[in-house]
Structure formats: structure tokens, C-alpha cells
Chain A
Amino acid sequence: MNLFTPIVNLLAKAHPSAKRLMHKFNGGVFPKYNKSLSASQPIRAKLIPQQLILPLQQQVGLPPEVKVQVGDKVKKNQLLAQPSKDPFKALSVPVHAPTSGTITAIQPITLPHPSGLEDQAIILEPDGLDEALDNILGVDGTVPESPLALKEILLNAGIVGMGGAGFPTYAKIPNQRGKIHTLLINGAECEPFITCDDLLMQTEADSIIQGALITAEALGAERIICGIESNKPAAIKAMQKAAANNRVEIKVVETVYPMGGQKQLTLELTGVEMPHKAHAVDIGMLMMNVATYTTIYRAVTFGEPLTSRLVTVSGLGLNQPFNMHVLIGTPFSTLAQAAQPKTELNYPLVMGGPMMGFKVANNDVPVIKTTNCILANPPEPVEMQMPCIRCGDCMDACPVNLLPQQMYWHSQAHEFDKVEKLNVFDCIECGCCSYVCPSHIPLVQYYRHAKSEIKEIHAEKEAVELAKQRHEFRLARIEREKQEREARLKAKKEAVKKEAAKAPTDESAGKKTSSAAAAAKAAAAKRAAAKGQQASSTEEQTETKMPSARLKAIEAAKLAAQKSVKRETSDADTDTKQDAAPMAKPDPKAAAKQAAMLAAKKRAQAKAQQTAETTDLTQETATTEASEKESARKAAMQTARAAAKKRAEAKADKTDSIGEEEITQPNPPPPGKTPKDGTVDKRKAAMEAAKAAAKKRAAEKAALEEKTVKTDSADEMTDSQPSESDSATSTDNAADKLKAAMEAAKKRAAARKAKQQADEQ
């Protein structure tokens, strides 16, 4: 660079754009700076206006809550509004009284914001005494030892980034010490007209350096680098003097707009190109404006909140531009009038510089914490917008290396997906492209619009996706409930069958159980009937909406369930014959129930046959791959085991609700199950289940301890429930769910087996 610099300097004399070779980022522009307008004047004495307007919304994030009432007398630095919610989430900061006086109103006013919207503000009428409360933050003047302690002070002092965006400073600082290795001081001030940072560095270099040292100490940062543009020799000198005996490095950077951009200055000072979408904190760097460091210093050392700031009042329409320590809340018009406008201020003032500032909707808007400049430039004739001639001047000027002409082309055509592909979100809206555009196209405006449109499109997409997920989950839930009911029904039927089979051998027990079983059967049959109806009605829905794999699985499960119902009902017919013998004797109630049950059963049977016919088609098309068969068999086994478990549980007087979730988990068997296999598996599984149930019952009779064992296993089941239901809620990973359920079922089965073995011994 040393060899290169004189050559470029020579070239720059011949042609100014050669200066672009002098800095590390692409492009940049060299506007007329007009800085001497205000920089040549000394800082003016403080001015206390007639009225201070303190908008609650001073920064990004949510506004704080008002803590005073109309008519209250307040003193300087007194807390007026405080964040109500968690400030770390809401990005909210408090507002303090800039001077002493009376609160005259709390009303909506026009905000100094590009939108020109209105919002609540506290109106303070100063009494002119300027009575202050000292050290309202209660600091002891020592350097905070941890980032958290510093953040606490910064939050209470209401400090936000004073360079422009107004991001609350506490929110920028990481909680852990040592995360930031390099602290950067932004003294570039690249916008034309603005000189407040320049004068601040000239007059308060020590506070800036102290503020930086305090911050570095608290955060454990190793390096402190300050970047100042070469067009501020006085500021550079003052800062170098202040940094002479400490570790702050002062670096002079080229005068080019937008050197003061965070990414641009970071690259210039450290040589690190901040990765796309990363924050400075992610790469261990933290950059703050010089003004922010002074307020940090004042807050930490004297306990002073942020109530005033240095503001440049400048512009070609003013006779006496100046810089002044302005109380937050001072109306723009008051300050502009103090600079003696050349003509009546019947044009909008600009907050900020000419490159990135915005015209205020009303010249009476107040100075807020982020107001660095009030600009009064009389309106100039606007050149007509011409078509883009693709000259590429914008591309040569873009500090982010975008293709502004292409982005404009697509923005204009509303092809926002293409605009996004051209990385419009990397645009820092510095205005270089618009500045150089020979066609006078307001390019930045197009990109802002494109960004908001793209955000909207994404939000819509997300909403649609969410709705889709909800719908699919709902369908899955309906299906699950259906299968639950089927499983329950089957379990109860099995139980009844076994009871009935046992009845002749044990009469005293038989009486009891047969009536209970009959009741259960009746209820189950009713449910099955209802189920059948539901199934036929929901079937069409599920068929159209569900993914084919899931559909197949459900179909297979349904089929299996139906098969078992069919078989059981036929079994049950023989059961009832057996049942009839003991029944005939004593119980009239039981007889009535029996009759009802029989009728219900018949109905269920008819229904089951009907549905079986409708699902024939799917059976035929189902694939028969071996591996799938295997898994299907396994799943069927699981179902059966689970059903057996369930029955055991019912025996143990457990409520249905406990078992519901559990039973359903292994339910949807994978697709591709052939009907033949299904029936075989089912039968096998049913037999196994029956065996298990019989064993259980025998064991119950044999030993009293059995009950405690079962309750244990039931407990175990309820324990495993939450995780299962959790996984059930996410529709995406159905496979995982199934696996997990199978695992759980297997475990339980193993436990049961062990217990049974123990019992048998």
C-alpha cells in the first residue's frame, strides 16, 4: 500500500475515481461534504426551549411505560418512563427528563421517523432552573467488572446507539466476558454536512477514550481501534493526544462515503470482511459511535442518563449553521430558527445526513437520541427520472458489490424472487447508487420497497405452511383417535371372550365378570358402530389430503383393525352361546344387557364387512416387499402386545385414558402389508395376546402381589407417556414416532415377560 499510495494520489489528481483504489471495500462515492459550514463554528451554548417533546419511542423495539402524570414536577435526569416488560426482549429503554419542569401533557405527536406516524410522547415544560438529580443511576464511579453489570447501567441510563440506527446499546453487548476481542470506535462520520462527531472528538476526546476503555475492561476486549476519516485533522490530533498513554489505536481512514458503515469500517480497520448475515458480535467485534462512548463514560462514572446530545444544525438554507449540546426533545424548528434560515422554512427539514437521512413529516418533531443532524437544504428542482441505460455506475459505486441495475430491473418488474437472489438484503441503503445514477432513478427506494415486499411474501408463505401443518396434524389426530377406539374395542372384546371361556370353571367369579364383560362388550360394540360411520365419512377426506405413504399406512391399519373386528365378532358369537348357559340362570339385568350387546354386535359386524369391501382395492395395489412385510409383522406384533398390555391394565382397574396414548403409538403399520400376512399376523398376535391375558388372569388369582406389579408397569407406562405424546404432536417425523413407540412397547413386553416368568416360578 505504501508504494501504491503516491501513484494513486497522482492518479486521483488526474481523475477522482482513482480514489476508489485507496480503500478496501468496493466503490463508494465522493460527495460534496460541506462540512466546514458547521465545523468552522464553535459549539453553541445550550438552549432550553419552551417545550420539550419526549417520544416514548426513541429507538427500535417497544416503547417504555410512562411513570409520571400530567402536572408532575420533575427534575433533570428524573426517570419519566421505564420499560415494563423484559427489556432484553422488548429492546426497550427508559426515558429521563432532560431538564427540570412540569409535565403538561402526554399525547400523540408526529415522530421524527420516515413513516411520519404519530405516537405517545411526554410534553415537558421547562422551568428554566435546570435543577438536576445527581447520580440517579447510583454508580460508584468504578469500572463494571462484568458485561452484565455494564449492561445494567447502560439500560438504566437509556443509552442507544447514537450513530443512527438507535439499537439499544445494552442489547448489543454479549453477556459473557471475553466474547468481544476487538472494540471499534466509529469516528468516520462519512455523511456530508454532519460534524457533530468531529467536534465531539475535538472537545471530548478523553471521555470517548475513557468510555471505550471502560467498555473494553468490562467485556475483556483486547484491542481498541478508532477509525477517523482523513478529512478531520483536528479530531485526529485530539484523539491521538487522548490515546497517547493507553492502548487505544487511532487509525486514519480514507475520506469516502460510506466509510462510516459498520461493515465497511470494520473491514478497513481490521481487514475482516464481516460474513453475510453475521453480526459483528459473532466475529468478536463490537463497534460503537464516538457519541455512544461518551454517554457510556458519563453513565458509568457520574451516573448520568442520556438526556442530551451533540447535534449538527446545518444546511445550505441556513445562515449560521452550528453544533450544540441539544436537550433530547427540543423541536427541530426551534434549532433551525436559531441558525437563522435564509428563507422561510416552508420545506421539510432532514434528520440525518443527505445520503441516508429522511425528510421529517413535520418540522416541529423533536430531537431524539439518534438525531445527529438537522439539515435544512432548500428544495432543488428534481430531474426527471429516465429509463435505466445499464451504465453500471451504480455497480461501480456500490460498497457491498451488488448489482443495483439488475436489482432495479427486477424490482420494477415485481420479480421479487430474483431481487432476493441478487442479495437485496445485503443492501445497506447507503444511497451511493442513487447518488451516481445518471437516469436519476431513486434506486434505494426501489430496494426498500422490494425488501418489504419480500418480507411480506415470506410471512405469507410461513402462514400457509403453518396452516398446512395444522391441517395435517388434525387429520393425523383424527386418524389416531379412530385407531385408539378400535384398539380399545378389540381389547375389551378379547377380555370378554376370555372371561366367558373361563366362566364355567369358576362360577362365583364368572357371575361378576360376565356381567361386567357384557357391559363392556355392549359399549365396545356401540363404539365400533359409531366408528364405522365415522370412518366412512372421514375416509374421503383423508384420501385426498394425505400423502400417499401415510394414506397407505392408515389404510393398512384400518384393514387390520377391521379384520380383527370381523374375526372377533364371529368368535364372539360362539362366546355368547357359551355365555348363555350361566346367564340363563339368575341375572335378569345381565340378560337384558346381553341382548343389547348381541344386537350391537350384529350391527358392528355388518358395518365392518361393508368397510372391508371398500378397502379391497387398496389391498390389491399394496406392494409386497419382503422388508416391508417384516416390519409390518413386527408392527402387528407390537399392536398385539400393546393390546394385551392394555387388557392387563384394564384388569388392574386402570382408567382407559392412561392407556390410550400408549396403545395408539405402535398402531399405523407401514405400507405394503398384504392382506394375507395381515390376517396371519393378526391371528398370531391375537393368540399371543390371549395367552398373555390368560396368564395374567391366572396370576392374578394366584397371587395378590400381582396387582402391585401391574401398577408398577402402569406407572412405567404413564412415565413414558409424555415423551410419546410429544413426539406425536410433530407430524413431520411419523417414522421416528413409530420407532419410538415400538421401542417402548418392546421394552414393556420384555418387562412383562420377565415378570410373568417370575410369577410362574
Chain B
Amino acid sequence: MSHPIVSSSPYAHNNQNVRKVMLQVQIAALPALMAHIYLFGYGIVIQWMLALTTALVVEYVMLKLRGRPVLPFITDMSALITITGLVFCIPPDAPWWIVVTGSAFALIFGKHLYGGLGYNPFNPAMLGYAFLLISFPVQMTQWTMPVEFTQSTLDFMQSAHYIFNGHIPGVSIDMYTGATPLNEMRTGLSQGVSIHDTLNKELQTTLWGLNSWAWINIAFLIGGLWMLYSGVISWQYPVGFLGTLAAVSMMFNLIDPGLYPPMDVVLLTGGTMLAAFFIITDPVTASTTPKGKLIYAAGIAILVYVIRNWGAFPDGIAFAILLMNIAVPLIDQYTQPRVFGHKR
């Protein structure tokens, strides 16, 4: 009786796999999704389903074109994470073609053209978002206003109607859309209104002293903490990112509170928590050494702060991440850990 040697040791495994990792990330995004639905209406569900359909089609076509087995790769769920990241960045009631082109661009140009999962240097979701922001700035900055301003959100059918047709019969959409707080702070500053005054206006209608944007961020934070616990993401990313952002914002807020928003506002507006736990933690495009992860995350935080305060865009997360993606090979090169028995 003889058998060919099929594999070498180890013959044990901790039963973790890529699919499970991706699924855990998806589950961690659920609290934020719920909060989003409650605060901004069902728009995001429609967007998400549109993106999912696009993703399935794009994945299938691209895998076929690349001559790869379709089933194992389409079920690796990496596309799901990409579109989830993207959908949270898109205005919930943006026209349908925004999310479709964005998802398609993210998956084709962000992932498949580089060789598929594991080979892409840039974060696909952020690549898609940057593409949309540059190509369709108007649609991308018309955010649905949260429930505290509109008193009631659009229902599912209204959202669907608006997304596909661009108007809702009998309803003025202007009632429901507006600028994000980050945008308002920016326009406020340009009109000579201090950060403090802009924020006070916002703070009038909040739940437990926090506005809807903050609540979305807190939902992301909860999901992120769960991912940290289950070991899906490394602690270096959120710690490096949030720590640096907090430190920088506190410093500048101390210098001039009228010009620079306070720390808690910086941490709980825009896509801060989404980035900290869901976007920059994408291991494929992030630095991979322990020290490198910290440097990478800190670099993104600094760039985010720079773009938000002095750049041309209200939220700079996408560009900050893409810029740091470029630096990853360099960071990895210089942050290699000391090997056992070697001297540094």
C-alpha cells in the first residue's frame, strides 16, 4: 500500500479562511447600515443592492475574461467588502448610475486589472470613490439630510423612485438634500462664520447631544471594536489612525478654536470611523509589518487632517488612503521586525 505524498506539514489549521474574514467584516458593518437606514432612509439599501448586482456581473465577466475559476473567487466576498465600503461613501439618494459606475470602476480598475484579490496596490473602494468624486462632484456632494432636519425620511419606494427617475412625484427633493457638516464648516469658514457657530447650528437637533453623523460613526466604531476582538483586523490601524487624528486635531484646536474643529467633531464626522475600521484595514493595500501598520495609519490620519482643513475637498479620506497606498512598499521595506537571534 503506497500513497503519493500529497502535502507537507502542518496538517492542522485554525479553520479560518478568507471567506470567513470577509463575512466578519460584512457583519461588522451591519450596525452602521441599520443606523444609516434609520437616520437617512432606505436609500442606502437600494444603493447597496444596485452595487451588489453590479459587483456580481462585473466579477463574473472579469473572472471569465481572466480565465479564472468563477465560483471560488466570486464567493470570496472581497467584492462585497469593496462595494460596502463604497456604498457608505455615496449619497444615499444619488442617481443609480453613480453607484453602478463607481462599483464597476472599483472592481475592474481597482482589483481585476491588477490580477485580482491580493494583487491590487490601491484600495478598490477608495479608488471607485475618488473616481466618482472627481467625475461627478455635484451628485456626490448632494447628501440626503438626516432625519433631525427633515423630521421624516423618504420611504423605500420614494427613494427607489428618486434614485431611478431623479424626482419624486409630489415631493420637493430639496427638502431632503443638503451639505454635510464638513461641507458646511468649509463653506461657513469661507463666509467668515467660525467653526463654533456652524457647529452650534448643527447641535440644535441632536439625540443625546450627538448628531446623526456622529451616530453613524459610533455604529462603525461598534462594528470595528467587534472586528478587533475577533481578530479580523490589526489593532495598529485604528489605534494609529484615530490616535494621530485625535492628537493633531487637539493641537490645532488649541491653537485656534475658531478655525479648527474640536477633536470629538473631527473623530465623529465624515468617514473617520468607516476609514479607521473598514477601509484602511484592508490588508491587501496596507502596510504589513507591525510598525509599518502604525506608520501607514498615522500617515493617513495626517493627510486626512491636512486635506480636510487646507485641501480642496471636504473629506480627504479617499485621497489620503490612496496616497499612503503608494508609500506602502517603502514603509514595508524599512520597518521589518528584528528576527529572532538577530541584532538590530
Identify the A interface with B (CB < 8 A): 14-15, 17, 25-26, 29, 31-32, 110, 114, 116, 192, 263, 273-278, 346-348, 350, 352, 354-359, 361-364, 375, 377, 382-384, 386-393, 395-396, 399-403, 405-406, 422-423, 426, 429, 431, 434-440, 442, 444-445, 448
Contact = CB atoms under 8 A, between A and B. Distances in A.
Nearest to B289: A403
Contact of B5 (A25, A32, A359, A364): A359
B5 A391 contact: no
14 contacts: A25-B340, A116-B5, A275-B342, A383-B17, A386-B117, A400-B341, A401-B337, A403-B336, A406-B288, A423-B339, A423-B342, A426-B341, A436-B14, A444-B9
Contact of B13 (A352, A400, A440, A448): A440
A393 B6 CA distance: 25
Given A276-B341, A387-B116, A445-B7, A438 B12 contact: no
Interface residues of B, number: 44
Contact of B118 (A274, A346, A390): A390
B11 interface: yes
B289 A395 contact: yes
Contact of A389 (B9, B20, B117, B293): B117
B18 A386 contact: yes
A438 B20 contact: yes
Interface string B289-307: 1100100000000000000
Contacts of B283: 389-392
Given A359-B3, A391-B21, 4 more contacts: A192-B12, A348-B5, A423-B342, A438-B18
Q: Report, nearest first, the 8 A-B pairs whose CB atoms are least far apart.
A: A431-B10, A387-B118, A276-B341, A400-B340, A354-B12, A391-B283, A355-B10, A354-B11
Contacts of A395: 288-290, 337
Contacts of A431: 9-10, 12
B3 A389 contact: no
B8 A448 contact: yes
A386 B17 contact: yes
Contacts of A440: 13, 17
A263 B23 CA distance: 38
Interface of B: 1-3, 5-14, 16-18, 20-21, 72, 76, 78, 116-119, 229, 231, 234, 283-284, 286, 288-290, 293, 332, 336-343
A431 B13 CA distance: 10
A110 B76 CA distance: 41
Contacts of A14: 229
For the residues of A in contact with B, the DSSP-based class is loop
A278 B341 CA distance: 9
A561 to B, nearest CB: 54
A456 to B, nearest CB: 19
With most chain B CB atoms within 10 A of its CB, the pick from A192, A387, A445 is A387
B339 A438 contact: no
A600 B73 CA distance: 87
B337 A403 contact: yes
B72 A384 contact: yes
Contact of B340 (A347, A348, A399): A399
Contact of B14 (A29, A387, A400): A29
Contacts of A356: 9-10
B148 to A, nearest CB: 36
Nearest to A427: B339
B20 A401 contact: no
Contact of B342 (A377, A386, A426): A426
B132 to A, nearest CB: 25
Contacts of A401: 337-340
B218 to A, nearest CB: 21
A346 B3 CA distance: 9
A397 to B, nearest CB: 9
Contacts of B9: 350, 352, 354-358, 429, 431, 434, 444
Given A276-B341, A383-B17, A387-B116, A354 B10 contact: yes
Nearest to A32: B12
Contact of A31 (B14, B72, B78, B288): B14
A263 B339 CA distance: 12
Nearest to B333: A406
Contacts of B7: 359, 382, 442, 445
A660 to B, nearest CB: 52
With most chain B CB atoms within 10 A of its CB, the pick from A26, A278, A355, A391 is A391
With most chain B CB atoms within 10 A of its CB, the pick from A274, A400, A426, A435 is A435
Nearest to B118: A387
Contact of B12 (A31, A359, A388): A31
A477 B69 CA distance: 64
Nearest to A363: B1
A32 B15 CA distance: 11
Contacts of B5: 114, 116, 348, 358-359, 361
A520 B132 CA distance: 98
Contacts of B10: 354-356, 431, 434-435, 444
Contacts of B6: 348, 359
A390 to B, nearest CB: 5
A383 B1 CA distance: 26
A386 B289 contact: no
With most chain B CB atoms within 10 A of its CB, the pick from A277, A346, A348 is A348
B13 A435 contact: yes
A60 B117 CA distance: 42
Nearest to B230: A15
Contacts of B293: 392
Contacts of B290: 392, 395
Nearest to B119: A387
B1 A393 contact: no
Contacts of A406: 288, 332
A442 B339 CA distance: 21
A386 B229 CA distance: 24
B288 A392 contact: yes
B308 to A, nearest CB: 28
A392 B12 contact: no
Contacts of A383: 13, 17
Contacts of A278: 341
Contacts of A275: 341-343
A273 B12 contact: no
A359 B7 CA distance: 8
A354 B9 CA distance: 7
A31 B9 CA distance: 14
A374 to B, nearest CB: 13
Contacts of B332: 406
Contacts of B336: 403, 422
A455 B26 CA distance: 45
A400 B339 contact: yes
A438 B17 contact: yes
Given A263-B341, A445-B8, A435 B14 contact: yes
Nearest to A440: B17
Nearest to B228: A15
Nearest to A400: B340
A429 B9 CA distance: 9
A281 to B, nearest CB: 15
Contacts of B338: 401
Contacts of B11: 350, 354-355, 357, 359, 375, 377
B2 A386 contact: no
A426 B14 contact: no
A353 to B, nearest CB: 8
Nearest to B115: A387
B229 A364 contact: no
A574 to B, nearest CB: 75
B324 to A, nearest CB: 15
A448 B8 CA distance: 10
A439 B5 CA distance: 21
A434 B13 CA distance: 7
B126 to A, nearest CB: 17
A357 B12 CA distance: 11
Nearest to A443: B10
A82 B288 CA distance: 53
